[in-house]
Amino acid sequence: MTQPVRFALAGFGAWGKFHAQSIAGNPGANLVAITAPSEASREEARRLYPEAHIFADSLEMIAQSDFDIIDIVTPSHTHREIALAAMAKGKHVLLEKPMAITLEDCKAIVAAAQEHGVHLAVGHELRLSSQWGHIKEIIDAGTIGDPQYVLVELSRKPYRLGASGWRYDQSRVGSWVLEEPIHFFDLARWYLEGSGDPVELHAYANSRDPERPTLFDNFSSMFKFANGSYAVVSQTLAAFEHHQTVKVSGTKGALWAAWSGALDRTLEPTATLKVFDGVPRRVLFRSRLGL
């Protein structure tokens, strides 16, 4: 048998803790090192993962730890520095989205992966969802024909501040388009995979707070492909609860999917998927709890 893959985890905040659970719960992986941002979170990491070495600084962890893959779940503006340091040591990188907050930083990360011959993966986890991933299976099976139109829409309450308020600091977050809409662009392009690359893009946005005019509460974009298919990605952070919708129409049929977390994304969510396969008056229906 091969040895378990050794993971170092940079970041032990709200999402980093979920990553830690997933790594530790996988029999093919060992969580050997963790960077946690505060003394309280470091103490929690020590208690939950006593076999892992706990650090306060990600660069220190990279320099002192022996691991195969680093999982980077830190604020977006730190991604380039941490990823490049790990790649320079020949380590593979699993990087939370977005890759970075500038195109220059993204290109630097890709170039470093090529230079050092390591694998780079960005965590677009919605592709693995039993709901959003299943939509791609339906499309690939030809159930709705060739997809021509995709809508991915989110209506939710405002973002939480994040550690030290980084998510409301544009120099550290870059743009809120890089938070959840980045997943939606990925889904739309994935569903329209046979259409090639987009050839045209239009976008609109505004903010309800004049003190942060370029951190957009409301954002909508439309992008078109050379074959005439197109997608719409839209989000409002000025609403309530958490509701996501996907609609796909094709040359034969269509589908509609919705996910709602009325209290929170992790508390009693409901999910619905309806598929029309082109047969008159026949709609395939599936409803699940907690997808």
Q: What is the pLDDT of residues 66-116, one digit of tens each?
A: 999 999 999 999 999 999 999 999 999 999 999 999 999 999 999 999 999
Mean pLDDT is lowest, of 140-149, 167-176, 265-274, 275-284, for 265-274
Of the listed ranges 40-44, 131-135, 158-162, 262-266, the least confidently predicted one is: 262-266
112-116, 127-131, 283-287: least confident range: 283-287
CA distance 98 to 290: 26
Range(s) of the domain holding residue 23: 5-123
- Spatial contact of 67 and 32, defined as CB atoms under 8 Å apart: yes
Question: For residue 289, what pLDDT band results from cuts at 50, 70 and 90?
Answer: very low
Q: Among the three residues 89, 123, 157, which one is the final residue of a domain in this structure? A: 123
Same domain for 105 and 224? no
Supply the pLDDT for residue 37.
86
Instruction: Identify the CA nearest to 91 among candidates 111, 74, 110, 71.
Output: 71
Joined together, the tokens standing for residue 147 give 């997809």
Regarding whether 278 and 134 lie in a shared domain, the answer is yes
pTM tops 0.75, yes or no: yes
pLDDT average, residue stretch 34-43 = 94
* 174 and 207 housed in the same domain: yes
Quick check: 135 pLDDT over 60? Answer: yes
What per-residue confidence (pLDDT) applies to 266? 54
- Residue 288: pLDDT band with limits 50, 70, 90: low
CA distance 56 to 178: 26
- Same domain? For 147 and 255 the reply is yes
Are 40 and 149 members of one domain? Answer: no
Residues above pLDDT 70, as percent of the chain:
95
150 lies in the same domain as 46: no
User: Domain count of the chain?
Assistant: 2
**CA-to-CA dists, residue 182 to 22, 134, 235, 269, angstroms:** 22, 19, 11, 22
Among residues 76, 100, 123, the one where a domain terminates is 123
> CA 120 → CA 77, 85, 104, 225, distances in Å?
18, 13, 16, 27
> Where among 123, 144, 165 does a domain terminate?
123
* Strand pairing report for 120-123 and 270-276: unpaired
Residues 116 and 147 placed together within one structural domain of the fold: no
Query: Cα–Cα distance between 191 and 232 in angstroms, integer?
Result: 12
Q: Write the CATH number for 89.
A: 3.40.50.720
Residues contacting residue 270 through CB under 8 Å, at least 6 positions apart = 259, 260, 262, 287, 288, 289, 290
CB 133 within 8 A of CB 106: no
Tell me how many helices (H) and strands (E) the chain has.
Answer: 8, 14
- Sheet containing 218-225: order of strands: 198-206, 218-225, 230-236, 147-156, 242-250, 254-260, 270-276, 283-289
Whether the ω angle into residue 98 lies within 30 degrees of 0, i.e. cis, is yes
Are 138 and 273 contained in the same domain?
Answer: yes
- pLDDT band for position 270 (cuts 50, 70, 90): confident
**143 and 279 in one domain?**
yes
Beta strands in the chain (DSSP E): 5-10, 29-35, 53-55, 69-72, 92-96, 120-123, 147-156, 198-206, 218-225, 230-236, 242-250, 254-260, 270-276, 283-289
% of the chain residues with pLDDT over 90? 83
